[in-house]
Amino acid sequence: MFLTNYFIFSLKDLYFFKGKCERTTGDLSDNEVFQDCKLKLARALGSECSTTTVVHSGDLLYCKNQKLTVCCFHNHNCSRNWDSINDDYVKLAVDFLTDQKKWLEKEKTKGYESCHPLGSSLDASKCQKDCQSLANSEFAQNCKKDGGFFKCCVRRDGAHCHECRFCCTLLMCTIKTDEKLKTIFSTYEKAGNNASVIITNTTGIQNAKEVFYLTNHQYKSPDYRCLNTESHSDPTEWGSYNPHQLADAANEEELKKVLTIPFDKRFLNFEDPKILKLMIGKNLEKHWKETYGFDFAAVAGDNSGSMLDCYKAESGKYAKSCKKKGGLFKCCANTWDLDVFTEARQILKEKKLISSDAKNLCQDPEKCRINTNAHLCSINVGV
């Protein structure tokens, strides 16, 4: 997947990529250094494209000088705007439903051990059973020999349609030493023995271990979180682990303490026509507030409702309390365009890729544009 070329760079040269670089220190092998630095960069790239999504991860520059390693990305590409994301939205669903086996085999090449189609179900038990078997795998055995803690991630996601749900498994091994906590994933790439390497990935971040750490949003984007299969007796109600805490858990006791986000069927599940109908319906404000914690939600219209809410909130109790603490009150306004979800179903129905109802819930486009406000207080607590 990676095309590797060799160049010589100095740490001084890499300074000019400030904000897009990460560093690793310690007496590590070239392979360990490369993996550690690249995983950190995946998080940085996710932040760089946090307002839209990653299209191409660009070029990776890697320079090692004794115990200090610096790696940077440049020539990356984020989606230009949400129009471009919406334009490409349905293609993924069409590809998935046209040949599910081929699509999932391609997904596995990112480093997943197994993948299964789920139809419109949220039951990822198939992947949980795989994880139980994989506890005896060669990877798990080697993990134990190295004194590590084996974990198997169950990822549940959808390829942009209600009938396009699937699950995959990702193997992890966390090793705790006096010097460092290190998590190894089920696939590895070697950086080679050269001191400086540039890696070009023309298709964007693809490795499961890299996207595992992405911090960008999941709206109209993949969901790489791992399910806590112990969080509920009903597998369709499994919550999701905090990814960074999960990666750092080095034993069963620590794993039990990892934060689990409770499951909410409404959360970013607009592909389900029943959920979409709820989120644009008569009680939409209630559902948006309960699901996402917003302070205001309404059909967008002329945006006057959102502006009025912000104006009133500036003199409200929360804003006054914020000011007393020396903070700055802010009203963060956003607009959600949901019409692409119902448009996608109509296209899939026309192509005879789905047989269920594809009623246009957004005949009036304004009905599917939702304004939300979040009231925030920023306080400088010093260093």
pLDDT of 379: 92
pLDDT of 197: 29
pLDDT of 176: 84
Is the predicted pLDDT of residue 188 greater than 50, yes or no? no
pLDDT of 206: 54
Between 365 and 45, the more confident residue is 365
Which of 317, 318, 264 has the alpha carbon at shortest distance from 289?
A: 264
Is the predicted pLDDT of residue 139 greater than 80, yes or no? yes
CB contact set of 117 (below 8 Å; sequence gap of 6+): 100, 104, 165, 166
pLDDT of 345: 94
What are 196-244's pLDDT values in tens digits? 322 333 233 456 666 676 656 678 888 999 999 999 999 999 999 998 8
User: Lowest mean pLDDT: which of 17-21, 93-97, 297-301?
Assistant: 17-21
| Whole-number average pLDDT of the chain | 82
Residue type, 194: N
Give mean pLDDT, residues 241-268: 94
189 confidence band (pLDDT: 50, 70, 90) = very low
177 confidence band (pLDDT: 50, 70, 90) = confident
Between 263 and 32, the more confident residue is 263
Is the predicted pLDDT of residue 27 greater than 60, yes or no? no
Give mean pLDDT, residues 191-196: 32
Going from N- to C-terminal start, the domains of the chain cover 1-85+187-216, 112-185+225-261, 273-378
249 by Cβ neighbours in 10 Å (0-12 / 13-18 / 19+) ranks as buried
pLDDT of 380: 85
pLDDT of 38: 66
What are 315-364's pLDDT values in tens digits? 999 999 999 999 999 999 999 999 999 999 999 999 999 998 788 999 88
What are 77-120's pLDDT values in tens digits? 676 565 666 667 899 999 999 999 999 999 999 889 999 999 99
Contact between 310 and 239 under an 8 Å Cβ cutoff? The reply is: no
User: Lowest mean pLDDT: which of 26-30, 87-91, 306-310, 344-348?
Assistant: 26-30
pLDDT of 205: 43
Is the predicted pLDDT of residue 155 greater than 50, yes or no? yes
